[in-house]
Copies of this chain bind each other. A is one copy, B any other.
Amino acid sequence: MDIADVTMVDVLRAVADPIRLRIVQVLADGRPHGKCGEHWDFGVHKSTMTHHFRILREAGLTHTVVSGRTHTIELRRSELDARFPGLIDALTAG
């Protein structure tokens, strides 16, 4: 999905959920994270996390990179920062 096709409302809908907001806050470091990593110990079922990861990807916030049997997820940080200045910073502040 081209970042130009992502609207601010798309982004806000995607992060307007406690778990997805926390995922984005973790991913805000800009690095790739394994989908099964220790970061995601949010007390919900793996299938729930998969659901949230998919919503973030389909909304255009993240990329998933598949390499062999490893899936990593990363925030499209630089693209999001260029299109929505200050938004990711604001979501991770405080």
Interface residues of A (CB under 8 A from B): 8-9, 12-13, 15-18, 21, 83-87, 89-91, 93-94
Q: How often does this chain occur in the complex, in copies?
A: 2
Q: Which residue on B lies nearest to A86, using beta carbons?
A: B90
Considering the chains assembled together, what is the distance between the CA atoms of A90 and B84 in angstroms? 7
Give every chain B residue within 8 A of A8 (Cβ-Cβ). 21, 91, 94
Give every chain B residue within 8 A of A83 (Cβ-Cβ). 94
Nearest chain B CB to A67 CB, angstrom units: 32
Nearest chain B CB to A21 CB, angstrom units: 6
Considering the chains assembled together, what is the distance between the CA atoms of A18 and B11 in angstroms? 12
Interface pair A84/B94, CB less than 8 Å apart: yes
